[in-house]
Amino acid sequence: MKLQLADIVDLRAYERERPELQQRVFALKRRRRVAVGPIVTLLFENRDTIQFQIQEMARAEKMVRDEQILEELEVYNPLIPDAGQLSATLFIELTSKPELEEWLPKLVGIERSVELRLGDHEVVRAEPETAHEGQLTREDVTASVHYIRFQLTPEQVERFAADPVSLAIDHPAYREQTPLGDDTKAQLLADLRGEPAPVGG
pLDDT in tens, 122-155: 999 999 987 666 666 667 899 999 999 999 999 9
Instruction: Decide: 111 and 137 in contact? Cβ < 8 Å.
Output: yes
Sketch the domain layout of the chain as residue ranges.
5-192
pLDDT at 49 over 70: yes
Q: What are phi and psi of 179, to 5 degrees?
A: -70, 145
**DSSP per-residue codes, 177-199:** EEEPPHHHHHHHHHHHTT-PPPP
pLDDT in tens, 11-48: 999 999 999 999 999 999 999 999 999 999 999 999 99
Instruction: Decide: 15 and 39 in contact? Cβ < 8 Å.
Output: no
Q: How confident is the model at residue 169 (pLDDT cuts 50, 70, 90)?
A: very high
Prediction pTM value: 0.92
pLDDT at 104 over 60: yes
Instruction: Decide: 2 and 77 in contact? Cβ < 8 Å.
Output: yes
For 66, other C-beta atoms within 10 Å of its C-beta total: 10
